[in-house]
Structure 1
Amino acid sequence: MPHTLLVLNGPNLNLLGTREPATYGRETLDDIAALCQRTGAENGLDIEFRQTNHEGQLIDWIHQARGRCAGILINPAAWTHTSVAIRDALAAVELPVIEVHLSNVHAREAFRQHSYVSGIAVGVIAGLGSDGYRAGIQHLAKRLQG
């Protein structure tokens, strides 16, 4: 069994720290990547951390995880609410998926309250800021240990 988790981040998350800090916080994506690396190491997991603003790139990374990674933690960002293709790619690779969001999407605009990913995820974490990434990695680690 591979011991690598793929942590994927969707569009605009490269602007964390400066983009709407009242909503998304002041931590940068590099800060979150470092947190994920530490959390992975604490749980005996390698972390591959990636971000893209291109939907096809994200789908390619998901496909490449099949048979190579033990699970996927994903913040699909705006694609959460729009991309059946990302949902289908996640379902096709047959890996445990945790969906994570920095903000509480259920307390925001109505269009943000629908997720194409939630229905195929083993868990959804929203509104905990970067702690949601830590919780997601810890849960996947426990799941992999049986």
Structure 2
Amino acid sequence: MTDNDNWRLSITCSHTGGVRVLTACGEIDLDSAPRLLDALTADGAAALVTVVDLSGVTFMDSSGINALIAAHHAAQRHGGQLRLASPGPTVAEIFGIVGLPGVIPCHPTLRDALDACPRQPDEPDVADARHNRGGHQNGTS
């Protein structure tokens, strides 16, 4: 990995309702795809329900698709799930061409992906609390 990879792809991670949300922004290609795969599978993360928010991804080649498929298989081996959310038009077109939504569930929005995931009832929905959507936090109203 070169220093250029750090500005070409940024990855952040959060949790909401018991689901791990990994947000990728930038370009996912031969040089940066290993960072994405590492983030998806590091420290047993493959065992969690993970949603990858792709709304900030401006480019993805076959290396990125391969990283997503590898992470999907790793999650399945550990009893977990991987879901994709919010691919932009260019990335969604590539996904359609290669048939990726037939392999990994792909949702038009992050909210749709989160709604399709099994939830842990004891955990507050951090995304809803952060966006002040009027729900209750920590079991209080």
The structure with more radius of gyration: 2
Structure with higher RCO (Cα < 8 A, 6+ apart): 1
Whose strand fraction is larger, Structure 1's or Structure 2's?
2
Whose helix fraction is larger, Structure 1's or Structure 2's?
1
